[in-house]
Structure 1
Amino acid sequence: MSDGALQTPASRDGNAAIRVAAGIRDAIEHGDLAPGSRLRQEEIAERFGASRVPVREALKALEAEGLVTLVANAGAWVSRLTLSECEEVYQTRERLEPLLLRYSAPRLTPSDLDQLEGLATEMTVHDDVGEFLRLDRAFHMLSYSRADTLMLGDLVERLWNATQPYRRAYTMLADADTRRIMHDEHHLIVVALRDGDVEGAERTVASHIRRTRRLLARHPEVFSPG
């Protein structure tokens, strides 16, 4: 684990396990810890000034989120998908996220829709991959945020976590035309939601996810061990 992979918070106040989990999560989301990276408890404990107990709790929490894989008596790694596994996750997302949007759409407020439009516009002016991914996630999670579901919302969030490194790879692989279509789809989702066209918004979300899956399938090298 490189010195820059995990940033040590300036303060040790608060719950140590939450603090450690947040640091690891941030490193994964920003691409500092690649899929398959080994997470050594002693290194994490030293970096965060924490004991082994909160480190273990943090890793278990991240496993529940789908970001970390724990193997009994072996250790912990940043979760990694094979190409076929990634296709399965994306096909699941293609079907579940339109349904989650259907639950959420009628409850989205005018303020929510204004925020979605602002996020869609802001994404078009960012060249930084990390910032784009942050805005993109904020956009989609906001669009789903009004859904009152028993398990669907949590499941979708876990699927997003599992594909986080591959969303980054897709963004870096996308050419100018693909990026333009991506931005257009964000705006189309907002327009459909404003018009009360939930089915149109669902179709656009499904197409949005499908495009990512198809591009990643053309780049199997993304799934090779680093």
Structure 2
Amino acid sequence: MPSTTSRDGGAGSRIADSLRDAILRGVYAPGARIRQEDLAAEFGASRLPVRDALRILESDGLVTLVANTGAWVSHLSLDECQEVYQIRERIEPLLLRYSAEHLDAETVDRLAALADRMQAGTDVETFLRLDREFHLLSYSAAQTSILGETVQRLWNSTQHYRRAFTLLIGPDASRAVHYEHQLLVAALRRGDIDDAERVLFGHIRRTRLELLQHPELFQQP
């Protein structure tokens, strides 16, 4: 029979997985209060696995815990988001470089298929899911101990703002996003890592500059 600790640890991970998915899908808005008692009731769990789940999500960059006060969905100010995007502009091309030399032809084909699916679709949530899959797949062959986890945490912290950006941009800007995805795939396919880095840098930078034009997105209700 498994120990209580093992059961609680497994329950904590399952709760974290479910809550992570809900936060990334926008079910919980940035700054929303997360009440342990509500989660315990929703998942039929005790407070211990709920606390474990919240600690996992804190390490993911999705939840902010305040001692003796509670938990909230992490929220970025405009300045914080700009800083995160500037960090991403600099470190994601490096992570792509680490990955690109190990990407096989099958993975590049999968990236091309994802780019085509994004270009053909119109649903925002589907686009966000495929976009995340596309970029994280492009980094998946990197052999790093720190950089990959750091990038994923930064992606988590900016998910809400990518959603807001996607809802705001018009058809012309959407075409630019898809064109950049196709350029990135083409650079990876021909093994031009320098060009792939340049495309990715501009891709992230353009989103940052667009978000700068909409400070209202960072105001908490």
Pick the TM interval, shorter chain. Answer: over 0.9
Residue 198 of structure 2 corresponds to 203
Instruction: Determine the structure 1 residue equivalent to 2:133.
Output: 138
Query: Cα distance, 1:167 vs. partner?
Result: 0.8
Separation in 1, partners of 2:40, 2:84: 32
Question: Partner residue of 2:187?
Answer: 192
Q: How does 1:41-190 map to 2 (within 5 A)?
A: 41-190=36-185
**2 CA distance for matches of 1:36 and 1:47?**
20
The secondary structure found in structure 2 opposite 1:58 is helix
Amino acid at match of 1:83: L
Determine the structure 1 residue equivalent to 2:3.
none
Unpaired runs of at least 5, structure 1 = 1-11
State the Cα distance separating 1:150 from its structure 2 match: 1.9
What is the identity percentage for the equivalent residue pairs of Structure 1 and Structure 2? 59
User: Following the alignment from structure 1 to structure 2, what is the Cα–Cα distance between the partners of residues 19 and 150?
Assistant: 25
**In structure 2, the residue corresponding to 1:61 is in which secondary structure?**
helix
Q: In the alignment, what sits opposite 1:8?
A: none
1:216 aligned partner:
211
Distance in 2 separating the partners of 1:140 and 1:204: 12
| Counterpart among 212, 217, 225 of residue 220 in structure 2 | 225
How many residue pairs get aligned? The number is 215
**In the TM superposition, what is the alpha-carbon distance from 1:207 to its structure 2 partner?**
0.5
Partner Cα separation in structure 2 for residue 27 and residue 141 of structure 1: 19
Q: Give the counterpart letter for 1:164 in structure 2.
A: Q
SS at match of 1:73: coil
Q: Report deviation, 1:29.
A: 1.0
- Tell me the distance in 2 between the aligned counterparts of 1:153 and 1:67: 16
Q: 1:70: how far off?
A: 0.2
- The AA in structure 2 aligned to 1:37 is A
CA RMSD in angstroms comes to 1.4
Letter in 2 for 1:154: E
Greater shift, 89-98 or 125-134, is seen at 125-134
SS at match of 1:77: strand
Structure 2 equivalent of residue 3 of structure 1? none
CA shift digits 1:69-96 (9 cap, x unpaired) = 0000110000000000000000000000
How far apart in 2 are the matches of 1:49 and 1:196? Answer: 51
Aligned to 2:4: none
CA shift for structure 1 position 124: 1.0
SS in 2 for 1:124: helix
What is the TM-score of this pair, normalised by structure 1? 0.93
Length-normalised TM-score, structure 2: 0.95
Distance 1:211 1:27 in 2: 27
